[in-house]
Chains A and B, each alone.
Chain A
Amino acid sequence: MGTKKEMDVRFGEFGTVSFTSTTKVNDFIDRLKQGKVSGNRCKDCGQIFFPPRADCYKCLASNMEWFDVSGTAKLMTYSRLEYAPVGFENDLPYSIALLDYGDFKVFGRISSDLPENEIEVGMEMKTAVNELPDGQLNYVFKKA
């Protein structure tokens, strides 16, 4: 009684700069720490979501189960940034990209160790958890 409720701020660990720290899908961060990039599925209607979400807009249920992103996907498109927004300057240059897994798509970064001349739209890639130098977590796309 009278004690302040502690907020779950785990999402603050996502990415170079996280703009939100509290979400009902905070377990996404725990799963990243276990090496898993996860989406979720509505247990009531079967709709698949990536990025994961707490609520299903199709059947209005909030009854989700996790699944892990696995296997390979096609690189839909990408862009290599030479300028960065405030807070991301030290990451330059980096590439943001979109992979198509068929049932869902994943937006993220291309692994910085992949030279740009080896990147091609349509190539097969896979998604892997990545720890940033300051301990923040994100995920990157590597050559499959």
Chain B
Amino acid sequence: MGKVGIIGVGQSAFVRGYPGSIRELAFEGFKEAMQDAQITSKDIGASVICSAPEYDKQRSPAGVFAEYLGLTPQPTVYVETLCSSSSMGVRLAYTLIKSGLHDIVAVIGFQKMSEISSAESQERMGRGADIQWESPFGTMMPAYYAMYARRHMAKYGTTSDDLALIRVKAATYGQINEKAVYRKPVTFEMFSDPESPMSVPVASPLRVGDCCANADGSSCVILANEEKAKAFSGKPVWILGMGAASTAVNMAGRDLFSGLTVGQDAGEQAYRMAGMTPKDIDIAEVHDCFTIAEIMAYENLGFAKPGEGKELIKDKETYKEGSIPVNIDGGLLSKGHPIGATGGSQIRTIVLQLRGDAGEMQVKDPEIGLVHNIGGVGLYGNVTILGR
């Protein structure tokens, strides 16, 4: 069996209040990827549909999408691992192709978060944690990640100012990404300005500015076996390494609170499969659902030693011109985080970068890229290494 390549990528604009149904939202990412791959729906052997459930009235969206996108009578299946659903979908697509069952598989991620209120959304996301033993205390995603931030600060001396620098970087690139939901600049001073929404406390030590933007959006990644990838695409991007991991859903069942074991574990697997080390990575997309998550990702992926992630951002090493550019599309913080679409969107960003098609966001000549996508509060982790 040969390699598996990515021959098409697409995403909708990430927006607040998408004015259409979920199938119409999915069509936007799918259309862009199909035009990118220059194939027809008859070329696709199977589809994998990814999102976090409970945001939609529609049960079992896979069949609905397959019909709307012209992907019947081919098989379709729904995959979910919360915020890493579409990275897990790509992992499944890889196995479907490697096994020889299908030549070309489309992975479609989506989320329409705006159908419910922000407080309802927090309640649903909070129920991605342990509903029996933790949710009755009133948990939500920002508070869980805030507990990681607090521990990181106590253990390593990371500060709220360090976290603010992550958001400032995200906004730098969100402004030049026409698909981003948050396109305004964010300055370091806003975090100490009581008049700025960025400084408003959410769950200490995290403020509004430390939290990603909810959004509606869709993404699509089209994968093919080596023969088809070479036939259809002038510039296929190859999957070189993949890793995936899980851990205890409840905090009481974990040992590490200054990093995410799923990020470490998935990263180690992906590096091993690719035969690479962190030094080989030219550009990365990491799961910055909260500012602290990006600092932990630097450390969990080996871009920095434990506790030294803050130095990377202080030295601007993760900016476009730095030694390891990270989230040069605005990240989840500014591009937005439509849960089930996020992994596919991250992969799209890296594919465009490796092909040299990233426009104003283009990093100078990257050859190897890494995608780090986390589900829940470090409950699931996927790392994917891509190369030209």
Q: Do B150 and A77 touch (CB < 8 A)?
A: yes
Which residues of chain B in 120-170 are interfacial with respect to chain A, using CB atoms and an 8 Å cutoff? 120, 122-123, 126-127, 130-140, 142-144, 146-151, 154
B39 at the interface (CB under 8 A from A): no
User: Which residues in A have their C-beta under 8 angstroms from that of B254?
Assistant: 105
B201 at the interface (CB under 8 A from A): yes
Q: Do B136 and A15 touch (CB < 8 A)?
A: yes
Which residues of chain A in 92-142 are interfacial with respect to chain B, using CB atoms and an 8 Å cutoff? 94, 96-98, 104-109, 116, 121-122, 138
In the assembled complex, the Cα of A51 lies from the Cα of B133 at a distance in Å of 7
User: Which residues in B have their C-beta under 8 angstroms from that of A105?
Assistant: 251-254
Instruction: Specify the chain A residue showing the minimal Cβ separation from B200.
Output: A82
In the assembled complex, the Cα of A50 lies from the Cα of B251 at a distance in Å of 11
Take A107-B251, A108-B137 as given contacts and tell me if A83 and B203 are in contact as well, using a CB distance cutoff of 8 Å.
yes
| A85 interface neighbour in B132, B139, B257, Cβ under 8 Å | B139
Minimum CB–CB distance from B293 to chain A (whole Å) comes to 14
B60 at the interface (CB under 8 A from A): no
Q: Do A121 and B137 touch (CB < 8 A)?
A: no
User: Which residues in A have their C-beta under 8 angstroms from that of B123?
Assistant: 85-87
Q: Do A98 and B202 touch (CB < 8 A)?
A: no
B204 at the interface (CB under 8 A from A): yes
Q: Do B138 and A84 touch (CB < 8 A)?
A: yes
Minimum CB–CB distance from A134 to chain B (whole Å) comes to 13
| A88 interface neighbour in B131, B138, B202, B252, Cβ under 8 Å | B138
Q: Do B257 and A77 touch (CB < 8 A)?
A: yes
B250 at the interface (CB under 8 A from A): yes
Which residues of chain A in 14-31 are interfacial with respect to chain B, using CB atoms and an 8 Å cutoff? 14-20, 23
User: Which residues in B have their C-beta under 8 angstroms from that of A20?
Assistant: 131-132
In the assembled complex, the Cα of A111 lies from the Cα of B251 at a distance in Å of 19
Q: Do B154 and A77 touch (CB < 8 A)?
A: yes
User: Which residues in B have their C-beta under 8 angstroms from that of A78?
Assistant: 147, 150
Q: Do A11 and B120 touch (CB < 8 A)?
A: no
B119 at the interface (CB under 8 A from A): yes
User: Which residues in B have their C-beta under 8 angstroms from that of A116?
Assistant: 204
User: Which residues in B have their C-beta under 8 angstroms from that of A79?
Assistant: 143-144, 146-147, 149-150, 203-206
What 1/0 mask marks residues of chain B from 247 to 274 whose CB sits below 8 Å from any chain A CB?
A: 0001111100100000000000000000
Q: Do B154 and A121 touch (CB < 8 A)?
A: yes
Take A79-B203, A86-B123 as given contacts and tell me if A91 and B138 are in contact as well, using a CB distance cutoff of 8 Å.
yes
Instruction: Count residues of chain A with CB under 8 A from any CB of chain B.
Output: 40
User: Which residues in A have their C-beta under 8 angstroms from that of B130?
Assistant: 51
In the assembled complex, the Cα of A76 lies from the Cα of B251 at a distance in Å of 11
Interface centre among A79, A96, A122 (most CB of B within 10 A): A79
In the assembled complex, the Cα of A98 lies from the Cα of B251 at a distance in Å of 8
In the assembled complex, the Cα of A87 lies from the Cα of B138 at a distance in Å of 8
User: Which residues in A have their C-beta under 8 angstroms from that of B148?
Assistant: 77
Minimum CB–CB distance from B255 to chain A (whole Å) comes to 9
User: Which residues in A have their C-beta under 8 angstroms from that of B252?
Assistant: 50-51, 98, 104-107
Q: Do B137 and A107 touch (CB < 8 A)?
A: yes
| B203 interface neighbour in A11, A23, A81, A104, Cβ under 8 Å | A81
Minimum CB–CB distance from B31 to chain A (whole Å) comes to 35
Interface centre among B119, B149, B200 (most CB of A within 10 A): B119
Take A76-B257, A78-B147, A86-B120 as given contacts and tell me if A23 and B132 are in contact as well, using a CB distance cutoff of 8 Å.
yes
A80 at the interface (CB under 8 A from B): yes
Q: Do A18 and B136 touch (CB < 8 A)?
A: yes
Q: Do A94 and B147 touch (CB < 8 A)?
A: no
Which residues of chain B in 327-374 are interfacial with respect to chain A, using CB atoms and an 8 Å cutoff? none
| B137 interface neighbour in A15, A86, A104, A122, Cβ under 8 Å | A15
In the assembled complex, the Cα of A109 lies from the Cα of B250 at a distance in Å of 14
User: Which residues in B have their C-beta under 8 angstroms from that of A121?
Assistant: 150-151, 154
| A98 interface neighbour in B136, B147, B205, Cβ under 8 Å | B147
What 1/0 mask marks residues of chain B from 179 to 214 whose CB sits below 8 Å from any chain A CB?
A: 000000000000000000000111111100000000
Q: Do A76 and B151 touch (CB < 8 A)?
A: yes
Q: What are 16 A-B residue pairs whose CB atoms fall within 8 Å in the complex?
A: A19-B135, A23-B132, A51-B250, A77-B147, A77-B151, A79-B146, A80-B203, A81-B202, A98-B147, A105-B253, A105-B254, A107-B250, A107-B252, A109-B137, A109-B138, A121-B150
19 extra interface residue pairs, beta carbon distance < 8 Å, beyond A15-B137, A83-B202, A107-B133: A15-B138, A19-B127, A19-B131, A19-B136, A77-B148, A79-B147, A79-B203, A83-B122, A84-B119, A85-B123, A85-B126, A86-B119, A86-B120, A96-B138, A96-B147, A104-B252, A107-B134, A107-B252, A116-B204
Which 8 residue pairs spanning A and B have beta carbons closest together? Answer: A15-B136, A88-B138, A79-B146, A85-B123, A121-B154, A77-B151, A19-B131, A51-B133
